Amino acid sequence: MKYSEMTKAELEQEYKGVLAQFEACKSKNLKLNMARGKPSKVQLDIANGLLNALQEGEECFVDGVDARNYGELSGLPCAKEYWADILDCKPSQIFVGGTSSLNFMFDIISKAFSHGLLHSVRPWCKEDVVKFLCPSPGYDRHFRVTEFFGAELITVPMTENGPDMDLVEQLVKDPQVKGIWCVPKYSNPDGIIYSEETINRFANLKPAAPDFTIMWDNAYGVHEFEGEYVPFPDILSLCEKAGNPDMVYEFASTSKITFAGAGFSAMATSESNIKYLTKMFGVQMISQDKINQLRHVRFLKDKAHTLEIMKQHASVMGPKFGVVADALDKEIKPLGFAQWNRPKGGYFVSFNAMPGTAKRALDLCKEAGVEMTPAGATYPYGIDPQDSNIRIAPSLPPIPELEQAMDVFCTCVKLAALEKLLAI
């Protein structure tokens, strides 16, 4: 029966039962962590071949370049080909990075503030106000990058097709709005794939700021855990066609393909942007780690082989998302007070608790030994105006632990909802 249909007496009865369940959870002295989207050990083991992908005596001279030496700042040609294959763009549009795509994104925003981007009239630090659009719920680390540099963060609601594009089109008419964060495929945390219409509207934006920047973080581009690989439009060519060739910077990494934090990353953008940025990167470093690039290309080979590897990840991730879906369907759905999504890829389930209860629910989880991403983290400045959204990250714990954690989670969201309904 739905909580909204229960009498006060029935709610009180339910509260007693759920409180007893909560006490039982606490007595188990659990210590479980679902706070961040880390791959599990079994997933990391899938990439152990990477450790042997380059052995002593093997040829490190590739494409006319000795990978062990300085040079080729924008990446080994074979690494550019690899990423162009994955992202469906041209190798000349790729700048291969280090082990973290987030670092790459930070770097672009940093350069925008210190020196300006290709079409900037002045560095962003010289602007009176810089505003940045943050589709929410979204990725907390994105928001923190622009907050770190002093940008004003503007929340844009997410819809089932991606960010609310009517609002985005309206907001970009303000010349102080300099950019937007996007996770276009299996968005963090909603797991949404932006619709073709949304993507086209992005490419066709007419921002007032000449240096408006789409930060297109394609972190989960090949990360299906259910069903076949879903092809995705190349935003670079769409922007080019729309007369906005330099507006988008796309990012990706192998953090969730090989080793998290020890993979390799790429930025895809127009050749003009690459040329402009390469000059700046040339001041900052002589060369990226091309040994890492080479061993990754030897191990991952190409898109087809990478998708094979991702099927192995799917066989680990799919059942974990199944545990989450089953627990929520069984424990929460009949009570009718919360909503959540059922993604087919990515790393998260986005759960909307009864408004005003997310913080309390996660405090209760903590009390019962289950650590989750803090409530509010999916909104700019860590403040969810509804106090509702909770990001569930099921990848790290083994299934028996995940089952226990979901048991605690369901108990806690129920308890928090009942406390609110009964004004306890």
Ligand X SMILES: Cc1ncc(COP(=O)(O)O)c(C=O)c1O
| Residue whose structure tokens are 């402009």 | 276
Could you say whether residue 253 binds ligand X (CB under 6 A)?
A: yes
Pick the closer one to ligand X by CB: 113 or 143. 143
Among 219, 267, 300, 412, binds ligand X (CB under 6 A): 219
Q: How far is the CB of 345 from ligand X (least distance, A)?
A: 12
3-state secondary structure the chain: CCHHHCCHHHHHHHHHHHHHHHHHHHCCCCCEEECCCCCCHHHHHHCHHHHHCCCCCCCCEECCEECCCCCCCCCCHHHHHHHHHHHCCCHHHEEECCCCHHHHHHHHHHHHHHCCCCCCCCCHHHCCCCEEEEEECCCHHHHHHHHHCCCEEEEEEEECCEECHHHHHHHCCCCCEEEEEECCCCCCCCCCCCCHHHHHHHHCCCCCCCCCEEEEECCCCCCECCCCCCCCCCHHHHHHHCCCCCCEEEEEECCCCCCCCCCCEEEECCHHHHHHHHHHHHHHCCCCCHHHHHHHHHHHCCHHHHHHHHHHHHHHHHHHHHHHHHHHHHHCHHHCCCEECCCCECCCEEEECCCCCHHHHHHHHHHCCEEECCCCCCCHHHCCCCCCEEEECCCCCCHHHHHHHHHHHHHHHHHHHHHHHCCC
Could you say whether residue 268 binds ligand X (CB under 6 A)?
A: no
Q: How far is the CB of 261 from ligand X (least distance, A)?
A: 6
Among 102, 309, 325, 362, binds ligand X (CB under 6 A): 102
Could you say whether residue 255 binds ligand X (CB under 6 A)?
A: yes
Among 74, 101, 120, 357, binds ligand X (CB under 6 A): 101
Q: How far is the CB of 350 from ligand X (least distance, A)?
A: 13
Pick the closer one to ligand X by CB: 100 or 357. 100
Binding mask 36-65 for ligand X (x = CB under 6 A): -x----------------------------
Looking at residues 137 to 156 of the shown chain, list those that interact with ligand X (rule: CB under 6 A): 139
Among 107, 211, 217, 250, binds ligand X (CB under 6 A): 217
User: Under rule CB under 6 A, how many of the chain's residues touch ligand X?
Assistant: 13
63-71, 100-108, 292-300, 303-311 -> range binding ligand X (CB under 6 A): 100-108
Could you say whether residue 21 binds ligand X (CB under 6 A)?
A: no
Could you say whether residue 373 binds ligand X (CB under 6 A)?
A: no
Binding mask 289-328 for ligand X (x = CB under 6 A): ----------------------------------------
Among 40, 136, 265, 273, binds ligand X (CB under 6 A): 265
Pick the closer one to ligand X by CB: 181 or 340. 181
Q: How far is the CB of 420 from ligand X (least distance, A)?
A: 30
Binding footprint of ligand X on the chain (CB under 6 A): 37, 100-102, 139, 183, 188, 217, 219, 253, 255, 261, 265
